[in-house]
Each structure stands twice: as structure tokens, then as C-alpha cells.
Structure 1
Amino acid sequence: MLVVSPTRRVSARLVAQARRELPKVCHLCGTPIDMLLPRNHAMSWTLDHVTPRAIDISRAEDISNLRPVHRSCNSSKGKRLHINTIKPKSSRRW
């Protein structure tokens, strides 16, 4: 069993793998992520733990638990579990 500190960030190796292999679409809002934006930009690429580290630390370094998201979407989610990842579109125009 992998033991990871709750405050430790995802390893650089895993981040590099995720950047190569995962889609470039935010799994929370469903819109594309511009990979050329600076790291501190609100719409830049970052990783989200589907099951937050606060809930299950053993999955912190598991790539199947990571999804690409915009930095602002990830900040809005916080430590909550997010059941519906892409926001449904309204069936009618208001």
C-alpha cells in the first residue's frame, strides 16, 4: 500500500504522464483546456483527484483517480466528491 503525506503534491513523474495521456478537456465543466496558459492562470491545466486525498489518501498517486481540470474549476470543487462531472445543458432556451 502506498503511503503519501496528505500535504504532498502529485509527483512530477505522474503530472508529466497525465499531461501526455489524459484528454485536454476539463472533466468538471467540459470545455477545452489551453495547455499554453501560465500555471497561475484561472483557466490553466491542473489535476483533480476524483476521490479527494482527504477521503482516501491511498489513491493520491493513482492516475486512474486523476482528471484534467481548469484551475478555477478545481478550486470551486474543493474537497467534495463530484458525482456529475460535466454540467448538463438545459433542454430549452430561457
Structure 2
Amino acid sequence: MARRPSNPIYHTREWREATRWAKTHLPPICHWCGEPIDMRLSGRNKWGATVDHLKPVRTHPELAYVRANLQLAHNSCNAKRTLAIHDGVESASRGVKVRTSRVW
């Protein structure tokens, strides 16, 4: 599967600082699955820590660096959520988009 182009926000000094802050100040718990995050793992590891936006940058670019909009998530949980947001219909819970088999 081809990777989609990365948002330029993720290549800035401000994003690196926000990521560093989140990884040192937020509790190491995935805000999607609720399981602990091993902070010794690389963010590229499926169970490693990534910094996730509560309100996506795609729809709320003004909140990209706002600390209150940042949470930690496992790389795999964050990736699933990102794919869901780009794929389907917005669900009522947590802003995650989910594909459904029929219109309800």
C-alpha cells in the first residue's frame, strides 16, 4: 500500500517540540485502547508511542501544536484511527470514521 503524503506540519521544529513535550508530560497510556505504552520502544514499532491529535490536523490545522489537543497512542492504534478517518463516515464517538455495510 502506498503511503499518503505527509502533512508539512509534521516536518517543523514546532511539531518536534510538541512531540517531545507530549512524550515527557502525558501519561504513557494509549488514549484509544487504554493499554500502557512502552516508552522505550521506537515510535515506528507498532506498540511504540506516537502523538495523536484529538481533533485531526486535516480539519483543525489551527490546533496542530496546541498541547490540549495532543494525546499519546500506540502506533498501530493511531494508524487504524487515521485510516478510518480517511475512509468512512464519521461516527458519533471520538470522531473516528467507520465504514458501515449499509445506511442506517
| Coarse TM-score class (shorter-chain normalised) | 0.7 to 0.9
Cα–Cα, structure 1 residues 55 and 84, in superposed 2: closer, same or farther, change >3 Å?
Answer: closer
Post-superposition offset of 1:7: 2.6
Post-superposition offset of 1:23: 0.6
- Give me the whole-angstrom Cα distance separating, in 2, the residues matched to 1:17 and 1:70: 17
Match of 1:42 in 2: 46
| 13-22 vs 57-66, which moves further | 13-22
Amino acid at match of 1:29: C
Match of 1:90 in 2: none
How many pairs are equivalent? 80
Amino acid at match of 1:65: N
Quick one: which of 42, 45, 65 aligns to 1:61?
65
Match of 1:29 in 2: 33
* Residue 18 (structure 1) aligned with residue 17 (structure 2): no
**What TM-score do the two structures reach when normalised by structure 2?**
0.68
CA distances 1:63-85 after superposition (whole Å, capped 9, x unpaired): 10010000000000016378349
Q: Which blocks of at least 5 consecutive residues in structure 1 are unaligned? A: 1-5, 86-94
Divergent runs of 4+, >6 A: none
Greater percentage in helix = 2
Post-superposition offset of 1:62: 0.5
Across the aligned residues of Structure 1 and Structure 2, the Cα RMSD in angstroms comes to 2.1
Contact 2:9 2:64 survives alignment (8 Å): no
- Give me the whole-angstrom Cα distance separating, in 1, the residues matched to 2:66 and 2:44: 24
Post-superposition offset of 1:11: 1.7
Give the match's secondary structure for 1:16: helix
Higher relative contact order (CA 8 A, sep 6+): 1
**What TM-score do the two structures reach when normalised by structure 1?**
0.75
